[in-house]
Structure 1
Amino acid sequence: MVHLEINENIIDNIELVIFDKDGTLVDLYNYWANMINFRVESAQKKLGFNESNKIDIMYAMGVDVENGRLRSEGPVGLKKREIVMQAMVDSLAEIGFSDTYDPCFQIFKEVDEQSINHLDDIVKPVDGMHRLIDSLYENDCKIAIATTDKTARADLAADFLGISDRVNMVVGEDMVANCKPHPDMANLILKELSVDKEKSIMVGDAITDVEMGLNAGLKASIGVCSGLTSESKLREKTKYVIKDISMIKVMS
């Protein structure tokens, strides 16, 4: 059990911290910009559309290449994999490529496999991530990851980052009926780890992360400004808002 200091506020008696992955533990833009680029580039090679079309398709999937950011409305980084893939299918249809659901499904699968060889380029930890995870672990606080990514890919990222032995549970969108902001992920983690919701908190960069914690009745939801959402938007949902997870202080 630990006490956490957030901007001089103390959240006491915490036994479990649930983290979002992308934008919270891992650099958001670097991860998803690379993954979406790999996917659209693969489609470009198979179908033969031009570079302008490629940028437009990436934008529809949630990556604003021209401004070097992710779109705050997603879908990538916020919504389920199927929704991101459908955005690709719909964008291809707009430029004359019909019936591409099955090819896109195969592209997503192939890129998942190929990206294993590019983890050095894709997975970059947020500043202070290892220090915080180590501190929680050393003070016997349970750690979980709840992500809109596939569970297998989140496991892969945790392993690459060297935190797998410290994380008690990883839940991806494929393990629950309803993704964030529904409480399903948090509820599953609470049940499997046998921790009371009043002794648990959620940490994430998206409004949906904060809302999941609220909807699950956790003791607190902490918003971090290292991903998709501005400080002002996060403060509309929670009083606990910080620049990034390096600002979370662990006290035993």
Structure 2
Amino acid sequence: MVTIVCNGVQFENIEAVIFDKDGTLANSHQYLWHLAEKRAELIDAIVPGLKSKILATFECGNPAGLMAIGTREDDEIAIASLLNRADARSIVQSAFQQADQQLPRKATLTPLYPEIVELLQSLNSLKLGILSSDIEPNIRDFLEEYQLSAYFQGMIGAQPGISKPNPKLLFLICKVLNVEPEAALVIGDTIADTTLTPRSIGVTWGGNTIAQLIGAGAIAHYPSDIRLSHT
């Protein structure tokens, strides 16, 4: 039986730990800013005068904003609504694809936060998974770039029609890991993570404050705040 302890709060009978990626494992602030700028620039070239509105919608400086926690589908829908034309969605999708092609690989611009490897090593007796709004090819590329693949037994990326904190996503990753949701602990940097389950740790090293991590069972300011104990 394994207990996870975080700043005085104990989570008992844990079999698996499920991590968010961007803002939790990976520092993605710089990449997301560049991506939002490039997307806005490409769309503005087709529909002039929208760049500032697009950037405002993305909320690049907000760790809990659309750019940080939304899926690609969420982003497409939100930006297409600004264009007010029949072909808006196709314009947005094309611009997003061009932006992906013009920027370097995401993994190279999203370095690990300090102490993450040490945290993963300390939890290696448990099943570890990733539940992210990013697409699965990007998750795999990130794990390979930073030599983390061996630590994780499963991942779930962006899914059509649903996004965090939809509890279906928690059930999906738990099914992949072959554990019951009640035996899983979620670690993430936004309310979309901390409201997935009461058994959650909200982290502030991604930029969010304690007040923005509603629903978290505990708060970690550093990865070293999270530790495993055997009882």
Partner Cα distance (1:170, 1:114) in 2: 27
CA distance, structure 2, for counterparts of residue 209 and residue 117 of structure 1:
25
From 121, 142, 146, the counterpart of 1:134: 121
* Partner residue in 1 for 2:40: 40
Q: Does 2:141 correspond to 1:156? A: yes
1:90 and 2:84 are equivalent in the alignment: no
- The corresponding residue for 1:217 is none
Query: Following TM superposition, by how much is the alpha carbon of 1:80 offset from its aligned partner in structure 2, in angstroms?
Result: 2.6
Shift of 1:189: 1.6
How many equivalent residue pairs? 230
Q: Would the alpha carbon gap of residues 167 and 112 (structure 1) be closer, same or farther in structure 2, given more than 3 Å must change?
A: farther
Do the aligned residues in 1 keep the contact of 2:106 with 2:138 (CA within 8 Å)?
Answer: no
Q: Is the 8 A contact 2:107 2:141 kept in 1?
A: no
What are the Cα deviations for residues 48-90 of structure 1, in whole angstroms up to 9, with x where unaligned?
Answer: 747xx53432121221xxxxx2264x22222232221233223
Alignment RMSD (CA, Å) = 2.5
Once residues 237 and 229 of structure 1 are traced to their aligned partners in structure 2, the CA distance between those partners, rounded to angstroms, is 14
Match of 2:110 among 96, 118, 123: 123
User: In the TM superposition, what is the alpha-carbon distance from 1:114 to its structure 2 partner?
Assistant: 4.2
Q: CA deviation at 1:240?
A: 0.5
SS at match of 2:38: helix
Distance 2:63 2:106 in 1: 24
Q: Unpaired segments of 5 or more residues in structure 2? A: none
Match of 2:62 in 1: 70
TM (normalized to structure 1)?
A: 0.79
Alignment of 1:96-111 (within 5 A): 99-111=87-99
Encode CA deviations 1:191-242: one digit per residue, 9 max, x unaligned: 222112232100111111111124xxxxx111111336320242x4234012
Structure 2 partner of 1:180: 164
Alignment of 1:205-216 (within 5 A): 205-214=189-198
Find 1:201's aligned residue among 185, 208, 218: 185
- Residue pair 1:181, 1:211 contacting (<8 A) in 2 also: yes
Tell me the secondary structure at the aligned position of residue 10 of structure 2: strand
Report runs of 4+ in structure 1 exceeding 6 Å deviation: none
What code does the residue aligned with 1:58 have?
L
Instruction: Say if 1:20 and 1:209, in contact at 8 Å, map to a contact too.
Output: yes
Letter in 2 for 1:23: G
Deviation at 1:147, TM superposition (A): 1.1
The secondary structure found in structure 1 opposite 2:145 is: helix
Counterpart in the other structure of 1:231: 210
Q: What percentage of residue pairs aligned between the two structures are identical?
A: 25
Q: Deviations over 1:142-182 (max 9, x none)?
A: 111111122222222222222122111111122x6522111
Structure 1, unaligned runs of 5 or more: 64-68, 215-219
SS at match of 1:77: helix
Are the counterparts in 2 of residues 171 and 189 from structure 1 also a CA contact under 8 Å? yes
Asked if 2 retains the 8 angstrom alpha-carbon contact of 1:207 and 1:229, the reply is no
